[in-house]
Amino acid sequence: MRILLTGAGGQLGQELLRLMTNDEIHALDHRALDITNRKAVFEAVERVRPSCVINAAAYNDVDKAEAARDQAFAVNAAGAGYLADAAARTGAAIVHISTDYVFDGRKGVPYTEDDGPNPLSVYGRSKHEGELLVLGSQAPAWVLRTAWLYGEYGSNFVRAILAAASAGGPLRVVADQVGSPTWTHHLALAISELIRTPARGLFHVANAGACSRFELARAIVGDTVEVVPITSAQAGRAAARPANSALASLRWKGTGLPALPGWRAALQEFMKEL
């Protein structure tokens, strides 16, 4: 397939590049394409004429977004909409990556695609608006909500915990936020397979199961350093996080593709590779 990949310098973008070697990938990072520039987006899509656009670009600093609302919405909402409209104009499909942070976390059990979003933060609201723009466009579209990404590339929670542990403990980690940690390799593989199916629409795509940040940190470091549970209030972050934004899918089975493995198995495999 001929694919235009935005956000190619991010952790998911780099994983997609590593995985999709049999496809013709036109990889653009934020320096090569500013997706908030509508004219530049339309020109890039017209030049490449892809069969599919994969939008892995995002303003994903959840805390900084609170004071940078315009920038967050420009990238996560307007930019996604420009890409979808440009894809529609050239007959391309589009994959857009969204987040569990579109939910408020009050449900108490994993969210499915049928649950209504109620984001708590600027980041979450901007991502939800991006979802609406992509799904409301004329392009054949997949919107994939995922969560707590980690992998070989870029900065992420797993790598941060490993770095902190190497400096010695104890580690203070939030214990009242629950989610679905997801390995970028498994997400990239799911994307690569999904775009070759006739399925379209909104899907939750995350490693199965859920844990707290504290439980995840314990699984990462084992008994090598002490991990101390703290509350979100004690962490003092600028943006509110959902208490339980774990994801489950009612729709993935309909694609005919295998479900993603559990989060513990995924983490163990990643740690072996690392």
Active site residues: 123
Residue with tokens 């379209």: 200
User: Residue 91 contacts by C-beta under 8 Å, 6 or more apart in sequence?
Assistant: none
User: Whole-angstrom Cα distance, residue 54 to residue 60?
Assistant: 17
DSSP 64: G
Which residues lie across from 201 on neighbouring strands? Answer: 142
Closest CA to 92 of 128, 135, 46, 58: 46
Q: Which helix (H) or strand (E) holds 27?
A: strand 24-28
Q: Which two tokens stand for residue 273?
A: 């590779």
Residues in the chain: 274
Token duo for residue 11:
């952790």
Q: Is 34 exposed, middle or buried (0-12, 13-18, 19+ CB in 10 A)?
A: middle
The DSSP H or E segment spanning 44 is helix 38-48
